[in-house]
């Protein structure tokens, strides 16, 4: 499968067309951004880790009945995926208070919820990806009510599958962001990536942050944290 014209370059990935109009190639970069692009940097080796981690997690999810865009890993940094039109919503699931939740509500980071929460942000860089009430997403026709119901139930299922898997790796899944897309026939599938860029992952015993918060908060050891999460995933995947 050959990379043809570049369609898009985002903060962490490039996307290319292929000779099959239904398939795209995603290439993961080492570039990191935070706070809506205000903070920029490089996390050496991140692209390789995020590519391989996301692919393994998506395969695990598809075995559990969640349709995903993953087709085949092509190289360390490149993956073949199904072409979708992205639903312009970031779907965030939280198990423990952190990040913008803690900030908005003044809640201590680490407060454990009785049940997971789901929220949406409008995927719009110019507006800074604002939090969006579900009714507003429907009013804006970002998706239909049936699509929203499906997205919400997929997101909760993803949380169950990934929380269990990360727990088996000695890691607590604090929160994460998903993106969904539509195939030509209208089917909703999971797209984008699942990685320490898009999840908060804490060591189950020490609480050490093993995700992009190390970059956001200048905690140091960013590369080591990504590598640590990947090592734990690989030893559990192979077990
Ligand atoms: N997240 C993401 N992309 C975004 C915003 C959030 O991947 O544009 C992830 C983030 O890494 C965390 C979860 O979604 O795992 C919840 O993020 P939050 O809303 O707390 O925002 P943040 O603190 O990252 O600004």
pLDDT tens, position by position, 180-209: 999 999 999 999 999 999 999 999 999 999
Q: Is 172 in the pocket of ligand 1 (CB under 6 A)?
A: no
pLDDT one-digit tens code per residue, 19-48: 999 999 999 999 999 998 899 999 999 999
DSSP lists the bridge partners of residue 112 as 96
Q: Is 214 in the pocket of ligand 1 (CB under 6 A)?
A: no
Q: Which atom of ligand 1 is nearest to the CA of 216?
A: 24
Residues in the chain: 239
C-beta separation of 115 from 60 below 8 A: no
Q: Is 215 in the pocket of ligand 1 (CB under 6 A)?
A: no
C-beta separation of 211 from 200 below 8 A: yes
C-beta separation of 84 from 78 below 8 A: no
Q: What pLDDT, on the 0 to 100 scale, is given for residue 122?
A: 98
Instruction: State pTM to two decimals.
Output: 0.96
What confidence category does residue 234 fall into, taking pLDDT thresholds of 50, 70 and 90? Answer: very high
């Amino acid at each position: 499968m050959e990379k043809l014209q570049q369609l898009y370059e985002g903060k962490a990935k490039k996307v290319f067309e292929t000779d099959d109009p239904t398939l795209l190639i995603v290439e993961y970069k080492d570039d990191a951004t935070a706070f809506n692009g205000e903070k920029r940097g490089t996390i050496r080796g991140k692209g390789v880790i995020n590519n391989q981690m996301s692919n393994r997690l998506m395969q695990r999810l598809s075995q559990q009945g969640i349709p995903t865009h993953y087709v085949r890993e092509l190289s360390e940094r490149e993956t073949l995926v199904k072409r979708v039109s992205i639903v312009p919503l970031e779907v965030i699931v939280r198990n423990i208070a952190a990040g913008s939740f803690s900030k908005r509500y003044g809640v201590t980071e680490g407060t454990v919820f009785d049940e997971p929460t789901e929220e949406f942000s409008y995927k719009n860089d110019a507006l800074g990806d604002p939090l969006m009430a579900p009714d507003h997403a429907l009013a804006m026709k970002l998706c239909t009510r049936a699509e929203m119901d499906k997205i919400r139930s997929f997101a909760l299922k993803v949380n169950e599958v990934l929380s269990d898997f990360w727990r088996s790796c000695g890691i607590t899944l604090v929160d994460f962001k998903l993106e969904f897309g539509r195939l030509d026939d209208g089917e909703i599938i999971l797209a984008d990536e699942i990685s320490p860029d898009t999840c908060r992952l804490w060591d189950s015993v020490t609480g050490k942050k093993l995700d992009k918060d190390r970059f956001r908060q200048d905690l140091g050891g960013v590369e080591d944290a990504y590598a640590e999460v990947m090592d734990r995933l690989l030893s559990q995947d192979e077990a």
